Amino acid sequence: MSQEEANSFSSDFSYLFFRNGASFRINYNDDNEISVNQPRISSLTNLCCSIIVRNESLTEQACEIIPKELFNQLFRAALHYTQDDTCINILISRWPYRIFRLENFVDEKLTSLKMLLDEKAALQRTKQAIKYSVIIIPRFIDTIRQQQQIIQKRLSNIRILDVTNFPVVELIIRYISTHCRLAEKESRRNQLIDIYNQQHHQLSSESKPTDDNKNDCTDNYSINSNDNNDDLIKSSSYPDDIIIIRFDCIIQDYRTYVELLSALRSTTPNIQLQICTIDMRCIGLALVSSFLDHVDKRYVQTLRIP
């Protein structure tokens, strides 16, 4: 991501901390950091990881041979030592665990008390946090879709992506919403194809041709079936098991509100949205009630309204 893009994204959220108060629940334990004057001794594992993640080819090779326990150190090193998102994308696409929680790998959190006391530190942390969510969420969805077509490769096992306590820009919220609707359309299309095939099979069995016309009918049927085969092939862009995206939602634009509400109304079993923090201070109070009717309230921890 370019510096200009990072600055434009951060401008969406920085004022929420400095003028409207914290957007995430403050965790006082986040400030128990090691003193700057205290020397830090890196382990051999961390030193090796810091070298590996600087090289795309080395990262690819490491993902093929290392035990899954080392993926945590590799990902932490990728966040700390790399400026681009190449190695982060590689690690996400090969992640061996079912659950990925971004907060476990970031030391400078947005839930720290420093977010309210130090404007410079808050702006820097916000920029970095936005960059993480912009990289990881699309990569996660792309990986899920790709593994439907590529069976031979070792791909990600992630089924629950948790990016709570990180700001998700509205562009990414719309991206998530779009895929929810696409998954719903694909599911409905596959259901219609199943119904058609079932009814067609029943009609074919009920109206079997006589022996004299059997060959002619078979030839005509094969020609017609070949013409319609492309329209009756079921698609599988999303996996059959449930994909969960757990995130915090800060809505400032009405269009984002409409798209996310449409995604929450969708009936797709493939993608489940779990929203933990809902910040709608920039949206009219009248819209909040309709939104809450479609949110799974079991996961809502914080609600901020005008």
Residues 153 and 200 reside in one and the same domain = no
Question: Looking at the domain assignment, is residue 232 inside a domain?
Answer: no
**Residue 216 within any structural domain of the chain:** no
Whether 305 and 285 have beta carbons less than 8 Å apart is answered as: yes
Dist. CA 220–CA 202, nearest whole Å: 18
Q: Which of 148, 139, 134, 163 is nearest to 24 (CA)?
A: 163
CB distance 76 to 70 below 8 Å = no
Query: Does residue 107 share a domain with residue 65?
Result: yes
Query: Are both 153 and 174 inside the same structural domain?
Result: no
Residue 264 sits in the same domain as residue 180: yes
Q: How many domains does the chain have?
A: 2
Verify that 62 and 177 share a domain, yes or no.
no
Closest CA to 129 of 264, 30, 262, 267: 30
Domain around 20: 1-31+44-160
pTM > 0.85: no
Contact 25, 281 (CB under 8 A): no
Same domain, 178 and 102: no
Residue with tokens 């009219």: 284
Same domain, 186 and 91: no
Mean pLDDT, the chain cut into blocks of 10 residues (306 residues total): 46 48 68 51 87 94 93 94 88 94 89 82 87 92 78 72 93 94 86 81 68 52 52 75 91 92 87 91 83 91 84
In a domain, 55, yes or no: yes
122 plus 152 within the same structural domain: yes
Answer yes or no: do 193 and 268 share one domain.
yes
